[in-house]
Structure 1
Amino acid sequence: MTQALPTAALEQTFLNARTFNKFTDQPVSDETLRQLYDLAKWGPTSMNSQPARFVFVRSAEAKARLAEALSPGNVAKTNAAPVTVIVAMDNQFYEHLPEQFPAVNAKPMFEGNAGLAEATAQRNSALQGAYLIIAARQLGLDCGPMSGFDPAKVNAAFFPDGRHKVNFLINLGYGDASGNHPRGPRLPFDAVATIA
Structure 2
Amino acid sequence: ANDPKFYDKLPYLFPHTDARSWFTGSAQVAETTAFRNGTLQVAYLILAARALGLDTGPMSGFDNALVDSTFFKDTGWRSNVLVNLGYGDADKLFPRSPRLPFDEACQVL
When normalised by structure 2's length, the TM-score is 0.91
The corresponding residue for 2:28 is 115
CA contact (8 A) 1:91 1:163 kept: yes
- 2:87 maps to which residue? 174
Alpha-carbon displacement from aligned partner over 1:129-187 (angstroms, at most 9, x marks no partner):
00000001111211111113111111111122251000010001122112211221100
1:164 corresponds to which residue?
77
Inter-partner Cα distance in structure 2 for 1:94 and 1:195: 31
Does 2:94 correspond to 1:94? Answer: no
Output one character per residue of 1:41-78: Cα deviation in whole Å (capped at 9) or x when no partner: xxxxxxxxxxxxxxxxxxxxxxxxxxxxxxxxxxxxxx
Is 2:100 the counterpart of 1:193? no
Q: Residue 182 of structure 1 aligns to which amino acid in structure 2?
A: P
Tell me the SS of whatever aligns to 2:2: strand
Unpaired segments of 5 or more residues in structure 1?
1-87
Cα separation, partners in 2 of 1:158 and 1:194, compared to 1, 3 Å = closer
Partner of 1:125: 38
The size of the alignment, in residue pairs, is 109
Give the number of the structure with larger relative contact order, counting CA–CA contacts within 8 Å between residues 6 or more apart: 1
CA drift of 1:112 comes to 2.7
Give the CA deviation at 1:101. Answer: 0.8
Which of 63, 68, 73 is the matching residue for 1:150? Answer: 63
Distance 1:110 1:161 in 2: 21
**TM-score, with length taken from structure 1:** 0.52
Cα distance in 2 for partners of 1:109, 1:194 equals 29
Q: Deviations over 1:53-106 (max 9, x none)?
A: xxxxxxxxxxxxxxxxxxxxxxxxxxxxxxxxxxx0001111110111112211
List 4+ stretches of structure 1 deviating above 6 A.
none
Q: Deviations over 1:1-27 (max 9, x none)?
A: xxxxxxxxxxxxxxxxxxxxxxxxxxx
Quick check: 165-174 or 139-148, which moved more? 139-148
Task: Give matches, 1:53-64, under 5 Å.
Answer: none
Please state which structure has a larger fraction of its residues in strand: 1
% identity of equivalent residues: 55
Q: Calculate the aligned-residue CA RMSD, in Å.
A: 1.4
How many angstroms apart in 2 are the aligned matches of 1:140 and 1:156? 32
Question: Are 1:141 and 2:78 counterparts?
Answer: no
AA partner of residue 96 (structure 1): K
